């Protein structure tokens, strides 16, 4: 599934560095995947239709905790693919 992502260069914060980013829409959610310069692992965030971070059970490991990070760091391509599959299944469950 990872191969479905189309990455583009994006300026990284206020620095002159470029990061790679891909976005994919799953119904009412948007998956954002980034790869920072010099890194080999990806970070993932899920956003709602208003562009706000969303934390979803089954995707965010610490969903049940009092505090949960909305960005999921240190993922390889296969782990990103698993998240993509879960979002696809969620979209089907919600009838989108």
- Tens digits of per-residue pLDDT, 41-89? 999 999 999 999 999 988 987 656 666 789 999 999 999 999 999 999 9
- Tens digits of per-residue pLDDT, 6-34? 999 987 666 677 899 999 999 999 999 99
In this structure, which long-range contacts are made by residues 8-15, counting pairs with CB atoms below 8 Å and at least 24 apart in sequence?
Answer: 10/34, 12/36, 12/37
The structural domain count of the chain equals: 1
Name the pTM for this structure: 0.87
Domain of residue 73, residue span: 2-93
């Amino acid at each position: 599934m990872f191969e479905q992502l189309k990455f583009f260069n994006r300026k990284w914060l206020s620095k002159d560095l470029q990061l790679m980013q891909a976005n994919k829409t799953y119904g009412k959610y948007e998956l954002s995947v980034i790869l920072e310069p010099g890194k080999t692992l990806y970070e993932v965030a899920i956003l709602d239709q208003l562009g706000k971070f969303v934390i979803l059970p089954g995707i965010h490991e610490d969903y049940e905790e009092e505090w949960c990070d909305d960005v999921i760091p240190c993922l390889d391509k296969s782990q990103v693919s698993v998240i993509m599959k879960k979002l696809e299944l969620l979209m089907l469950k919600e009838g989108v």
